Amino acid sequence: MAVTATERPAVRPPAPGRTSGRRQFTGRTALILFAFMLPAIFFVGLFTYYPLLNGISMAFRNYNLNDLSDTSWVGLENFRTLLGDEMFRGTVKNSLVWVVGSLVPQFLIGFTLALWLRRRFRFRGTYQALVFFPWAVSGFLIGILFRWMFNGEFGVVNDLLMKTHLISTPVPWLADARYAMIAVIIANVWYGVTFFAIMILAALQSVPEELYEASAIDGAGKVRTLFSITIPSIRTTLALTVLLRVIWIFNSPELIFGMTGGGPANETHIVTSYMIQVTQEGDYGRASAMGLMVVFVLMLFAIFYLLAIRPKKAMR
Protein backbone atom coordinates (compact mmCIF):
# COMPACT_ATOMS: atom_id res chain seq x y z
CA MET A 1 0.00 0.00 0.00
CA ALA A 2 1.52 3.30 -1.11
CA VAL A 3 1.98 6.02 1.49
CA THR A 4 1.42 9.51 0.14
CA ALA A 5 3.56 12.23 1.66
CA THR A 6 1.86 15.39 2.76
CA GLU A 7 2.55 18.10 0.28
CA ARG A 8 4.07 21.26 1.66
CA PRO A 9 3.43 24.63 0.07
CA ALA A 10 6.41 25.95 -1.81
CA VAL A 11 8.26 28.80 -0.13
CA ARG A 12 8.37 31.77 -2.44
CA PRO A 13 11.68 33.60 -2.50
CA PRO A 14 11.55 37.27 -1.50
CA ALA A 15 10.98 39.67 -4.32
CA PRO A 16 13.99 41.56 -5.61
CA GLY A 17 14.75 44.64 -3.52
CA ARG A 18 12.74 43.39 -0.53
CA THR A 19 14.11 41.81 2.64
CA SER A 20 12.57 38.97 4.58
CA GLY A 21 12.17 39.38 8.34
CA ARG A 22 14.13 42.15 10.04
CA ARG A 23 15.48 45.27 8.45
CA GLN A 24 19.05 45.29 7.31
CA PHE A 25 21.49 47.31 9.44
CA THR A 26 23.05 49.69 6.99
CA GLY A 27 25.67 52.38 7.27
CA ARG A 28 22.96 55.03 7.06
CA THR A 29 21.16 53.51 10.05
CA ALA A 30 24.41 53.50 12.02
CA LEU A 31 24.96 57.18 11.24
CA ILE A 32 21.43 58.05 12.36
CA LEU A 33 21.89 56.18 15.65
CA PHE A 34 25.26 57.83 16.21
CA ALA A 35 23.74 61.26 15.54
CA PHE A 36 21.12 60.64 18.23
CA MET A 37 23.77 59.44 20.69
CA LEU A 38 26.25 62.23 19.93
CA PRO A 39 24.78 64.87 22.32
CA ALA A 40 24.81 62.39 25.22
CA ILE A 41 28.36 61.30 24.39
CA PHE A 42 29.47 64.92 24.17
CA PHE A 43 28.00 66.00 27.52
CA VAL A 44 29.14 62.87 29.38
CA GLY A 45 32.63 63.27 27.99
CA LEU A 46 32.75 66.99 28.73
CA PHE A 47 31.34 66.92 32.27
CA THR A 48 32.48 63.47 33.46
CA TYR A 49 35.50 62.03 31.68
CA TYR A 50 37.35 65.26 30.90
CA PRO A 51 37.32 66.41 34.58
CA LEU A 52 38.27 62.87 35.63
CA LEU A 53 41.27 62.70 33.32
CA ASN A 54 42.25 66.27 34.16
CA GLY A 55 42.04 65.47 37.88
CA ILE A 56 44.25 62.42 37.43
CA SER A 57 46.80 64.59 35.68
CA MET A 58 46.70 67.27 38.43
CA ALA A 59 47.31 64.61 41.10
CA PHE A 60 50.85 64.25 39.74
CA ARG A 61 51.51 67.98 39.28
CA ASN A 62 52.30 70.95 41.48
CA TYR A 63 48.93 72.53 40.71
CA ASN A 64 48.09 75.33 43.13
CA LEU A 65 45.74 78.19 42.23
CA ASN A 66 47.75 80.54 44.43
CA ASP A 67 50.77 80.11 42.14
CA LEU A 68 50.12 78.89 38.61
CA SER A 69 53.56 79.90 37.37
CA ASP A 70 54.86 76.40 38.14
CA THR A 71 52.57 73.45 37.40
CA SER A 72 55.40 71.02 36.74
CA TRP A 73 55.22 67.26 37.04
CA VAL A 74 56.08 66.16 40.58
CA GLY A 75 55.26 62.45 40.34
CA LEU A 76 54.19 60.92 43.65
CA GLU A 77 55.12 63.95 45.76
CA ASN A 78 51.48 64.89 46.45
CA PHE A 79 50.78 61.35 47.68
CA ARG A 80 53.84 61.36 49.93
CA THR A 81 52.76 64.70 51.38
CA LEU A 82 49.31 63.30 52.17
CA LEU A 83 50.65 60.14 53.81
CA GLY A 84 52.85 62.30 56.04
CA ASP A 85 50.00 64.68 56.89
CA GLU A 86 48.68 64.03 60.40
CA MET A 87 45.42 65.75 59.50
CA PHE A 88 44.87 63.37 56.59
CA ARG A 89 45.56 60.32 58.76
CA GLY A 90 43.00 61.62 61.24
CA THR A 91 40.39 61.98 58.50
CA VAL A 92 40.99 58.37 57.43
CA LYS A 93 40.18 57.22 60.98
CA ASN A 94 37.13 59.50 61.07
CA SER A 95 35.98 58.10 57.73
CA LEU A 96 36.00 54.55 59.08
CA VAL A 97 34.01 55.63 62.15
CA TRP A 98 31.64 57.61 59.92
CA VAL A 99 30.98 54.70 57.53
CA VAL A 100 30.63 51.90 60.09
CA GLY A 101 28.74 54.03 62.63
CA SER A 102 26.26 55.13 59.96
CA LEU A 103 25.93 51.92 57.95
CA VAL A 104 25.09 49.42 60.70
CA PRO A 105 22.16 51.35 62.27
CA GLN A 106 20.88 52.36 58.82
CA PHE A 107 20.80 48.73 57.71
CA LEU A 108 19.19 47.36 60.86
CA ILE A 109 16.53 50.08 61.13
CA GLY A 110 15.86 50.09 57.37
CA PHE A 111 15.51 46.30 57.30
CA THR A 112 13.08 46.41 60.25
CA LEU A 113 11.00 49.15 58.62
CA ALA A 114 10.87 47.19 55.34
CA LEU A 115 9.62 44.08 57.14
CA TRP A 116 6.98 46.16 58.91
CA LEU A 117 5.86 48.01 55.75
CA ARG A 118 5.53 44.72 53.88
CA ARG A 119 2.56 43.80 56.03
CA ARG A 120 -0.88 45.01 55.05
CA PHE A 121 -2.42 47.48 57.49
CA ARG A 122 -4.50 50.62 57.46
CA PHE A 123 -2.84 53.78 56.09
CA ARG A 124 0.08 51.71 54.85
CA GLY A 125 0.65 54.05 51.90
CA THR A 126 0.77 57.07 54.19
CA TYR A 127 3.39 55.46 56.40
CA GLN A 128 5.46 54.51 53.34
CA ALA A 129 5.37 58.11 52.10
CA LEU A 130 6.50 59.40 55.51
CA VAL A 131 9.35 56.89 55.67
CA PHE A 132 10.51 57.56 52.10
CA PHE A 133 10.26 61.37 52.31
CA PRO A 134 13.77 62.10 53.72
CA TRP A 135 15.41 60.59 50.64
CA ALA A 136 13.97 63.43 48.54
CA VAL A 137 15.61 66.13 50.69
CA SER A 138 19.11 67.52 50.11
CA GLY A 139 21.77 66.19 52.46
CA PHE A 140 23.12 69.69 53.03
CA LEU A 141 19.65 70.93 54.00
CA ILE A 142 19.26 68.02 56.43
CA GLY A 143 22.62 68.99 57.91
CA ILE A 144 21.37 72.54 58.53
CA LEU A 145 18.16 71.24 60.14
CA PHE A 146 20.07 68.94 62.46
CA ARG A 147 22.52 71.73 63.29
CA TRP A 148 19.61 73.68 64.76
CA MET A 149 18.27 70.58 66.51
CA PHE A 150 21.64 69.87 68.15
CA ASN A 151 22.32 73.49 69.03
CA GLY A 152 23.81 73.61 72.52
CA GLU A 153 21.78 76.62 73.71
CA PHE A 154 18.29 76.33 72.23
CA GLY A 155 18.27 73.02 70.31
CA VAL A 156 15.29 70.70 70.56
CA VAL A 157 17.50 67.68 71.40
CA ASN A 158 18.81 69.25 74.61
CA ASP A 159 15.32 70.51 75.45
CA LEU A 160 13.83 67.01 75.21
CA LEU A 161 16.67 65.41 77.15
CA MET A 162 16.39 67.96 79.96
CA LYS A 163 12.60 67.64 80.15
CA THR A 164 12.93 63.86 80.49
CA HIS A 165 15.66 64.41 83.14
CA LEU A 166 18.24 62.44 81.15
CA ILE A 167 20.65 65.38 81.41
CA SER A 168 20.81 68.24 83.89
CA THR A 169 22.75 70.77 81.82
CA PRO A 170 22.75 71.41 78.05
CA VAL A 171 25.24 69.33 76.05
CA PRO A 172 27.37 71.27 73.50
CA TRP A 173 26.83 68.61 70.82
CA LEU A 174 28.52 70.38 67.93
CA ALA A 175 31.08 72.37 69.93
CA ASP A 176 32.58 69.45 71.86
CA ALA A 177 34.86 67.01 70.03
CA ARG A 178 33.53 64.14 72.15
CA TYR A 179 29.96 64.53 70.88
CA ALA A 180 30.25 66.14 67.44
CA MET A 181 30.86 62.91 65.51
CA ILE A 182 28.02 61.20 67.39
CA ALA A 183 25.66 64.02 66.39
CA VAL A 184 26.53 63.90 62.67
CA ILE A 185 26.27 60.09 62.64
CA ILE A 186 22.78 60.29 64.22
CA ALA A 187 21.75 62.73 61.48
CA ASN A 188 23.21 60.49 58.77
CA VAL A 189 21.44 57.42 60.19
CA TRP A 190 18.11 59.26 60.01
CA TYR A 191 18.89 60.31 56.44
CA GLY A 192 20.08 56.92 55.15
CA VAL A 193 17.48 54.62 56.72
CA THR A 194 15.12 55.50 53.88
CA PHE A 195 17.41 54.07 51.19
CA PHE A 196 17.60 50.68 52.88
CA ALA A 197 13.85 50.67 53.53
CA ILE A 198 13.05 51.40 49.86
CA MET A 199 15.45 48.84 48.40
CA ILE A 200 14.70 46.05 50.86
CA LEU A 201 10.93 46.57 50.66
CA ALA A 202 11.09 46.32 46.86
CA ALA A 203 13.05 43.07 47.19
CA LEU A 204 10.67 41.65 49.81
CA GLN A 205 7.68 42.18 47.53
CA SER A 206 9.27 39.80 45.01
CA VAL A 207 9.44 36.89 47.50
CA PRO A 208 6.59 34.43 46.71
CA GLU A 209 3.93 34.16 49.40
CA GLU A 210 3.86 30.38 48.86
CA LEU A 211 7.22 30.10 50.61
CA TYR A 212 5.86 31.74 53.74
CA GLU A 213 2.72 29.60 53.63
CA ALA A 214 4.83 26.45 53.33
CA SER A 215 7.03 27.49 56.24
CA ALA A 216 3.95 28.19 58.39
CA ILE A 217 2.58 24.72 57.59
CA ASP A 218 5.93 23.20 58.57
CA GLY A 219 5.71 25.01 61.90
CA ALA A 220 8.63 27.39 61.34
CA GLY A 221 8.71 30.41 63.65
CA LYS A 222 9.29 34.01 62.62
CA VAL A 223 13.02 33.93 63.35
CA ARG A 224 13.58 30.73 61.39
CA THR A 225 11.45 32.04 58.51
CA LEU A 226 13.52 35.23 58.48
CA PHE A 227 16.88 33.43 58.25
CA SER A 228 15.74 30.49 56.10
CA ILE A 229 13.45 32.19 53.58
CA THR A 230 13.48 36.00 53.71
CA ILE A 231 17.20 36.75 53.87
CA PRO A 232 18.31 34.03 51.38
CA SER A 233 15.64 35.20 48.92
CA ILE A 234 16.87 38.81 48.93
CA ARG A 235 20.56 38.09 49.55
CA THR A 236 21.74 39.70 46.31
CA THR A 237 19.76 42.88 46.92
CA LEU A 238 21.07 43.15 50.47
CA ALA A 239 24.67 42.72 49.32
CA LEU A 240 24.47 45.30 46.52
CA THR A 241 22.56 47.76 48.72
CA VAL A 242 25.24 47.59 51.40
CA LEU A 243 27.97 48.07 48.79
CA LEU A 244 26.28 51.12 47.26
CA ARG A 245 25.60 52.64 50.66
CA VAL A 246 29.22 52.22 51.78
CA ILE A 247 30.39 54.09 48.68
CA TRP A 248 27.79 56.83 49.10
CA ILE A 249 28.45 57.35 52.81
CA PHE A 250 32.19 57.57 52.17
CA ASN A 251 31.58 60.14 49.42
CA SER A 252 28.91 62.20 51.22
CA PRO A 253 30.47 65.15 53.08
CA GLU A 254 27.56 67.56 52.52
CA LEU A 255 25.80 66.62 55.76
CA ILE A 256 29.01 67.20 57.74
CA PHE A 257 29.50 70.58 56.05
CA GLY A 258 25.92 71.53 56.89
CA MET A 259 26.27 70.60 60.58
CA THR A 260 29.85 71.23 61.67
CA GLY A 261 31.92 72.30 58.66
CA GLY A 262 34.43 69.66 59.78
CA GLY A 263 34.80 71.09 63.29
CA PRO A 264 35.28 71.42 66.12
CA ALA A 265 39.06 71.42 65.63
CA ASN A 266 38.65 69.28 62.46
CA GLU A 267 37.34 66.37 64.57
CA THR A 268 34.45 65.58 62.20
CA HIS A 269 36.37 65.90 58.94
CA ILE A 270 36.30 62.79 56.76
CA VAL A 271 38.55 62.29 53.73
CA THR A 272 36.10 63.75 51.21
CA SER A 273 35.21 66.79 53.34
CA TYR A 274 38.92 67.43 53.92
CA MET A 275 39.45 67.12 50.16
CA ILE A 276 36.89 69.87 49.58
CA GLN A 277 38.61 72.07 52.16
CA VAL A 278 41.99 71.57 50.44
CA THR A 279 40.33 72.43 47.12
CA GLN A 280 38.95 75.64 48.61
CA GLU A 281 42.48 76.50 49.74
CA GLY A 282 43.57 76.27 46.10
CA ASP A 283 45.81 73.19 46.31
CA TYR A 284 44.26 71.25 43.45
CA GLY A 285 47.24 68.92 43.14
CA ARG A 286 46.94 67.59 46.70
CA ALA A 287 43.13 67.48 46.49
CA SER A 288 43.28 65.52 43.23
CA ALA A 289 45.73 63.07 44.78
CA MET A 290 43.32 62.61 47.68
CA GLY A 291 40.42 61.99 45.29
CA LEU A 292 42.46 59.46 43.33
CA MET A 293 43.28 57.60 46.53
CA VAL A 294 39.57 57.52 47.46
CA VAL A 295 38.65 56.09 44.06
CA PHE A 296 41.39 53.45 44.29
CA VAL A 297 40.41 52.38 47.83
CA LEU A 298 36.70 52.16 46.98
CA MET A 299 37.45 50.16 43.83
CA LEU A 300 39.54 47.69 45.82
CA PHE A 301 36.82 47.44 48.46
CA ALA A 302 34.13 46.82 45.82
CA ILE A 303 36.20 44.09 44.14
CA PHE A 304 37.02 42.21 47.35
CA TYR A 305 33.49 42.68 48.67
CA LEU A 306 31.89 41.24 45.53
CA LEU A 307 34.36 38.36 45.55
CA ALA A 308 33.58 37.65 49.22
CA ILE A 309 29.81 37.55 48.74
CA ARG A 310 29.97 35.60 45.48
CA PRO A 311 28.03 32.32 45.83
CA LYS A 312 30.45 29.43 46.02
CA LYS A 313 30.04 26.62 43.53
CA ALA A 314 29.04 23.30 44.95
CA MET A 315 31.86 20.83 45.40
CA ARG A 316 31.73 17.95 42.95
At 9 the pLDDT is: 54
Residue 205 pLDDT > 90, yes or no?
no
User: In whole numbers, what is the pLDDT of the chain averaged over residues?
Assistant: 84
Tell which wins on pLDDT, 109 or 67: 109
pLDDT tens digits for 259-305? Answer: 988 888 888 999 999 998 888 888 888 999 999 999 999 999 989 88
Q: Please choose, from the candidates 273, 298, 276, the residue with its C-alpha nearest in 3D space to the C-alpha of residue 287.
A: 276
Question: What is the pLDDT averaged over residues 125-151?
Answer: 83
Greater confidence (19 vs 180) lies with: 180
**Band of pLDDT at residue 315, cut at 50, 70 and 90:** very low
Contacts of residue 96, defined as CB under 8 A and 6 or more positions apart, other chains included, come to none
Confidence of residue 42 (pLDDT cuts 50, 70, 90): very high
**What band does 149 get if pLDDT is binned at 50, 70 and 90?**
very high
Task: Identify the pLDDT of residue 225.
Answer: 83
Mean pLDDT of 117-124: 76
If pLDDT is split at 50, 70 and 90, which confidence band does 28 have? confident
Give CATH for domain 86-309.
Answer: 1.10.3720.10
Q: Calculate mean pLDDT across residues 210-219.
A: 81
Would you say residue 316 has pLDDT above 50?
no
- What number is the average pLDDT over the span 57-67? 87
Average pLDDT over residues 194-210: 87
* Whether residue 18 has pLDDT greater than 60: no
Arithmetic mean of pLDDT, 78-94? 90
Q: What is the residue extent of each domain of the chain?
A: 86-309
For the chain, what percent of residues have pLDDT higher than 90? 26
Query: What's residue 183's pLDDT?
Result: 93
Residue 314 is predicted with a pLDDT of 43
